[in-house]
Amino acid sequence: MKTVLSTKILTPSQKELFLNSGLGLVEYDALKIDFLNVEIPLNYSNYIFTSKNAVKAFLNQVKSSNLSKFNVFCVGEKTKTLLKENGLNVVKMAENALELGKNIVKNHKNKRFLFLCGNKRRDELPALLTQNDIKFKELEVYRTELNPKAFQRGFDGILFFSPSGIRSYLLENTLGNGTLFCIGETTAAEARKHSKNIIIANKPTVENVLVQAINYFKNL
């Protein structure tokens, strides 16, 4: 039986995708999220979220029942879903931070933003906003820490969801000849430093990474 390692603990519905695939699944969290004890200003009208963890940090503090007064700009379908489930007004969702930044520059140039992020956030979005004189403040609300774990075996496939996840895995392990399934181009760029056996998801979702792995091994 081919065995795949997920560097993220999957939800029950995500695991179900594997149940009938004939693949073995091993999972762990390559990263650990620590929410910071910072006060988030609530006097902004426009908030930027590039991850679900930033949304969770925001929701932990906001006790207001009228969350619809906040206009939010976000990256990713899952982040958008979490925001809408909690009653926030999603003005724009983009597939990546650069695309979101371009939309803000083009359509919302005179607005003021609070960008809630983690310590591993990428530079493209704040750099683009700064270059175009968009008024924004950046606030770090969580930290992503590497959570290394040694495996005394190899895997036929490994699922990676961030560059940090790859770095964490490689602290205690090697990639061997396994195929690496990456959630997007940024993660794949890190993976290419270590392997040529890389498949990138068609959409930047955990589910699509799983489907890529299942289809790949099914067709071998």
Residue-wise pLDDT tens digits, 197-212: 999 999 889 999 999 9
For residue 66, the model assigns a pLDDT of 79
* Bridge partner residues of 15 (DSSP): none
Cβ 158 vs Cβ 7: under 8 Å: yes
Locate 70 and state its tokens.
């906040």
Residue-wise pLDDT tens digits, 72-81: 999 999 999 9
Other CB atoms closer than 10 Å to residue 28's CB: what's the count? 15
Q: What is the CATH number of domain 3-30+148-218?
A: 3.40.50.10090
Q: Was domain 34-144 assigned CATH 3.40.50.10090?
A: yes
For residue 65, the model assigns a pLDDT of 67
Examine the pLDDT at 219 and tell me if it is beyond 90.
no
- Which amino acid, 10? L
pLDDT mean over 62-81: 89
Can you say whether the dihedral through the CA atoms of 126, 128, 130, 132 is positive or negative? negative
Cβ 188 vs Cβ 161: under 8 Å: no
Residue 102, SS3? helix
Kindly report the backbone phi and psi dihedral angles of residue 60, in degrees, each rounded to the nearest multiple of 5, phi listed first. -60, -25
pLDDT mean over 35-55: 95
Locate 140 and state its tokens.
């770090």
For residue 173, the model assigns a pLDDT of 97
Task: Please count the residues of the chain.
Answer: 220
Parse the chain into domains and list their residue ranges.
3-30+148-218, 34-144
Locate 91 and state its tokens.
């003005």
pLDDT band at 19, cuts 50/70/90? confident
pLDDT band at 17, cuts 50/70/90? confident
Residue-wise pLDDT tens digits, 148-164: 999 999 999 999 999 99
Residue 68 DSSP symbol: G
150 burial class (0-12, 13-18, 19+ CB within 10 angstroms)?
exposed
For residue 220, the model assigns a pLDDT of 80
Quote the mean pLDDT of the chain. 95
pLDDT band at 98, cuts 50/70/90? very high
pLDDT mean over 129-158: 97
Cβ 121 vs Cβ 57: under 8 Å: no
Q: 86 or 220: which carries more pLDDT confidence?
A: 86
The number of angstroms, rounded, from the C-alpha of 173 to the middle of its chain's C-alpha atoms is 22
pLDDT mean over 96-117: 96
